[in-house]
Chain A
């Protein structure tokens, strides 16, 4: 940044100095509030969290430096392992929202009467808070009162207790999460499909491409910007999953639906005790996983900036 020499600034009149350096100084004045807020509430806490992860601290008393002990403990922690695996399941299965969203977008990309309303209603789940989505789905899954078992009963199956079964529960929650996420991807693709070049489609038709071939070779490449954003928001959504788990199972049954973000919260701030250092160590692991993706996103954005 431009060096601000106080002697020069005070020698001349304030306004005169500002006038001469207006172009160099103004951006910093405009940036200052945002940077201050962001540094105070986001950047500094990231550093602090990393620092805390080397301490044993209950949040009130004296913090005791323990070096890598928290991380060593993580390696033998069965619950941590379960959370990590569940995070992986979330990441992989959440990506289904992308083809799912594309499929619905293709289905709805028509101009029949009332289609606008249909599009809005299909998008509906994304606007509702995850807390309500969680409640809605936990009632949907209820063993007796739930609609799912009502429907399964009609075809002679069930009843199943999705959220009470340790092997099924995580998948049940992911399915609930996919509902709004698919809606989000759908809207991204609907806007993307609007921008597809009609001439290329015509050219493709003349060359005899249709159906799947047309989709794969002509449409999907043109949807690349939409796919990129869908990928970014889906990955972030998968790694941030907390609300649904907290509402639907609270980590149970037998802790089998925990993910890192939830386990961290549980360790640091719940009835299981206030282990801030250990919680921070879990958060750091989650952060490192995210960092891989953040680096990739930034790299892609940087490549595009250079291309402009």
Chain B
């Protein structure tokens, strides 16, 4: 193990390390801690310039209550859920199919189709912006959740297919060959042999895509407007316009908006990290 395990070093370095850890963590998360501290302060602290002292009263329930019951925030959160969940299902489904085709079968254009997905996944969004917005307008889907979902599914399919294909390549191909010898239909091999083995990959991709889509801002701004279909990332800017300079409320709103992917991460940590490293670094 590198660096040298702490148990094998001198006592003084051990103590230094143990005390350095929390200090480093606090410094690393300082901007976030500041926001969390803001979100429990009363408005009067900001007008009186008491930014960094102790809160003059503890207003957590009041501030978060305002966010939940007195703003469009719940609406935006619901929109985010209704955009994120169908996208995750769609993108994972499409990429399971495509990953199976590219991972199991050997045919001439295989690698080129694979590279097409990989390259498309790296493309800057901006080159898609004008045509995709136009397309969405033409289909009558501008400012709808459906329009956003359809595009997200298509774009995320690139990354997901890359992931699924690599995962399937690493599976023992003998299982598929044995099934073929038995005369089992190809789609049954997919459904009964490969899909059960892909469960960890499906879990990893789902959490990852959930986070990506929940956190998307660019497409939310390009394809939607207004509380009826905007997700929370775009909604938070209107929320902030509504509570301009009310830092206690804006902080509380931001924390609420950031929370679902954070929860997702802490609940599904193992899968999340497996997904991020593309399964390439084991």
Residue from B17, B126, B127 in contact with A112 in the complex, judged by beta carbons closer than 8 Å: B17
- Choice from A24, A110, A120, A201 contacting B266 with Cβ under 8 Å: A120
CB pair A49–B233 under 8 Å, yes or no, is: no
Asked whether A122 lies within 8 Å of B28 as measured between CB atoms, the reply is: yes
Q: Which of B48-78 contact A (CB under 8 A)?
A: 49, 51-52
Q: Does A203 contact B (CB under 8 A)?
A: no
Number of interface residues, chain B, beta carbon within 8 A: 99
Q: Annotate B73-114 by CB proximity to A: 1 below 8 A, 0 otherwise.
A: 000000000000000000000110110111011010111010
Residue of A nearest to B49 (CB): A144
Q: In the bound complex, what is the Cα–Cα distance between A276 and B137 (angstroms)?
A: 15
Q: Which B residues from 116 to 175 make CB contacts under 8 A with A?
A: 116-120, 122-135, 150-151, 153-155, 157-158, 161
**Min CB gap B101→A, angstroms:** 4
Contact A129 B158 (CB under 8 A): no
Chain A: number of interface residues, binned into ranges: 35 or more
A135 and B36 CA atoms in complex are apart in Å by: 13
Which of B1, B21, B282 contacts A118, CB < 8 Å?
B21
User: Within the assembled complex, what's the spacing in Å between the Cα atoms of A42 and B281?
Assistant: 29
Kindly state whether residue B254 has any CB partner on chain A within 8 Å: yes
Residue B25 lies at the interface, judged by CB distance under 8 Å to chain A? yes
Which residues in B have their C-beta under 8 angstroms from that of A121? 25, 28-29
Check if A31 sits within 8 Å of B97, measured CB to CB.
yes
Contact B101 A260 (CB under 8 A): no
Does the CB pair B51–A150 fall under 8 Å?
yes
A136 at the interface (CB under 8 A from B): yes
Does B35 sit within 8 A of A, measured CB to CB?
yes
A181 contacts the other chain (CB 8 A): no
Q: Which of B46, B222, B250, B273 has the most CB of A within 10 A?
A: B273
- The verdict on A41 contacting B128 (CB below 8 Å), with A30-B97, A120-B269 known, is yes
| A1/B281 in contact, CB under 8 A | no
The answer to whether B123 and A127 have CB atoms under 8 Å apart is no
> Would you give the 0/1 interface string for A9-48, flagging 1 where the beta carbon is closer than 8 Å to chain B?
0000000000000111011101101110110111111101
Does any Cβ of B come within 8 Å of A70's Cβ?
no
Give min CB distance, B84 to chain A, whole Å. Answer: 12
Given A31-B102, A268-B129: A139 touches B277 (CB 8 Å cut-off): no
A26→B277 CA distance, assembly (Å): 30
> Which A-chain residue is minimally distant from B180 (CB atoms)?
A23
A97 on the B face (CB < 8 A): no
Residue of B151, B158, B261 touching A128 (CB-CB under 8 A): B261
Shortest CB-to-CB span from B248 to chain A, Å, is 11
Q: Bound complex: CA of A188 vs CA of B279, how far in Å?
A: 10
Interface of B is mostly: helix
- Is B202 positioned at the interface, with any CB of A under 8 Å from its CB? no
Q: Is A137 an interface residue (CB 8 A)?
A: yes
Stretch at the interface among A72-80, A88-96, A163-171, A290-298: A290-298
Identity of the chain A residue whose Cβ is nearest the Cβ of B233 in the assembled complex: A131
Main secondary structure of the interface of A (DSSP, over half): helix
Q: Known contacts A41-B154, A145-B247: does B113 contact A139 (CB below 8 Å)? A: no
Q: Which residues of A contact B281 (CB under 8 A)?
A: 188, 191-192, 195, 225-226, 229
Interface positions, chain B 230-279, Cβ under 8 Å from A, are: 233, 236-237, 240, 247, 250-251, 254, 257-258, 261-262, 264-266, 269, 273, 276-278
Name the B residues within 8 Å of A147 (CB-CB). 30-31, 34, 52
Minimum CB–CB distance from A67 to chain B (whole Å) comes to 18
B218–A243 touching, CB < 8 Å = yes
Residues of A within 8 A of B127 (CB): 45-46, 49, 280, 283-284, 286-287
Return chain B residues, CB-CB under 8 Å to A40: 135, 154
Interchain CA distance A127-B115 in the complex, whole Å: 28
CB-based nearest A residue for B35:
A136
Question: What is the bound-complex CA distance between A247 and B257, given in angstroms?
Answer: 15
A44 to B131, CA, bound (A): 9
**Are the C-beta atoms of A246 and B120 separated by less than 8 Å?**
no
A192 CA to B276 CA, complexed, in Å: 12
CB pair A225 B257 closer than 8 Å:
no
Chain A residues 171-213 with CB under 8 Å of chain B are: 179, 184, 187-188, 191-193, 195-196, 198, 201
- Residue of A whose beta carbon sits closest to that of B266: A120
Please determine whether B6 and A240 come into contact, CB atoms closer than 8 angstroms: no
* Whole-angstrom CA separation of A49 from B129 in the bound complex: 8
- Fill in one digit per residue for A111-137: 1 if any B CB lies within 8 Å of its CB, else 0: 110000010111111011111100111
Residue picked from B258, B262, B265, most chain A C-beta under 10 Å: B258
Q: B126 touches which one: A37, A226, A261 (CB < 8 A)?
A: A261
Are A111 and B5 touching (Cβ within 8 A)?
A: yes
19 CB contacts below 8 A, A to B, read A22-B186, A31-B101, A35-B98, A35-B113, A37-B153, A41-B135, A45-B131, A46-B128, A122-B28, A127-B264, A136-B34, A139-B251, A187-B277, A219-B2, A236-B122, A243-B218, A265-B129, A268-B129, A301-B118
Known: A269-B129, A279-B126, A302-B115. 20 other contacts (CB 8 A): A22-B185, A27-B102, A30-B101, A31-B102, A33-B98, A38-B158, A45-B131, A49-B127, A112-B18, A112-B21, A121-B28, A127-B265, A196-B1, A198-B1, A232-B122, A264-B126, A265-B126, A265-B129, A276-B130, A283-B130
The 7 closest A-B pairs by CB, nearest first: A41-B154, A129-B215, A45-B131, A34-B98, A30-B101, A27-B101, A48-B131
